[in-house]
Amino acid sequence: MLKKTGIPEEEELKLVLPDDARRKRGPFAVFECFERIPCNPCYDACPMHAVMPFEDINDLPRLDLDRCNGCGNCVAQCPGLAVFVVDETYSEDEALLKLPYEFVPLPLAGSEVDLLDREGKKVGRGKVVRVQKARHRTATPVVWVTVPKHLSMVVRNIGGI
Question: Would you say 83 or 128 has its CB closer to ligand SF4?
Answer: 83
Map residues 54-73 to x or -, x wherever contact with ligand SF4 holds by CB under 6 A.
-------x-x----xxxxxx
Q: Which of 16, 23, 30, 50 binds ligand SF4 (CB under 6 A)?
A: 50
Q: Based on the shown chain and the rule CB under 6 A, indicate whether residue 83 belongs to the binding site for ligand SF4.
A: yes
Q: How far is the CB of 70 from ligand SF4 (least distance, A)?
A: 5
CA distance 48 to 78: 16
Q: How far is the CB of 18 from ligand SF4 (least distance, A)?
A: 11
CA angle 107, 111, 114 (to 5 degrees): 75
Choices 4-12, 46-54, 100-108, 123-131; region in contact with ligand SF4 by CB under 6 A: 46-54
Output the DSSP codes for 115-147. EEETTS-EEEEEEEEEEE--SSTT---EEEEEE
CA distance 115 to 99: 11
Map residues 84-103 to x or -, x wherever contact with ligand SF4 holds by CB under 6 A.
-x------------------
Residues 6+ apart with CB under 8 A from 154: 117, 118, 123, 147
Q: Based on the shown chain and the rule CB under 6 A, indicate whether residue 48 belongs to the binding site for ligand SF4.
A: yes
Output the DSSP codes for 91-102. SSSEEEEEEE--
Q: Which of 8, 41, 100, 126 binds ligand SF4 (CB under 6 A)?
A: 41
